[in-house]
Amino acid sequence: MSDLRIRSASPADLDAVLAFWKTAAEGTSISDDRAGVERLVARDPQALLLAERGTEPGGTEAVGTERAGTELVGTVIAGFDGWRCHLYRLAVRPDARRQGIGSALLAAAEERFVALGGRRGDAMVLDRNERAHHAWQAAGYAPEQQWTRWVKPLAEG
């Protein structure tokens, strides 16, 4: 994975990210739209991390990729509210899984958290996504059975 590059998303990346999540991420939420992701990047420009790798000379690039010669292969949102470190949307392109991309994204997110003073990362993982459970466990994360997530939509979607 020597050609893997991790960087923060810019507003120009957002359409590509949303398209990427449709094929690489499991499920959607109320904020998985252009306006929601724009607010994230405007509020915390380093929170949305992208993993890209170079394409072969003369090769084709992924649809919607912003930078010539690269393709989007993974994402993670590493949100820090000043108190807790939250991980969302860890997603790797299906044909690029099991190549260390998810691990590299998590390492970058954890480095970000440590630099900001964070002490513990937590991740939102769908109960039904067994593949993700194995990936998170391999990265050193474990479910906390005593917690249940309570939600309330604040706006009509």
Neighbours of 134 (CB within 10 A): 10
Measure CA of the first residue to CA of the last residue in the chain; give whole Å. Answer: 39
- pTM of the full structure: 0.86
Contact 101, 1 (CB under 8 A): yes
Tens of pLDDT, residue by residue over 5-57, are 999 999 999 999 999 999 998 766 777 889 999 999 999 999 999 999 987 55
pLDDT tens digit string along 91-101? 999 999 999 99
- The fold adopted by the segment(s) 4-138 is Aminopeptidase (3.40.630)
Provide the residue ranges of all domains of the chain, joining segments of one domain with +. 4-138
Q: In what order do the strands lie in the sheet with 4-8?
A: 4-8, 48-54, 70-80, 85-92, 121-123
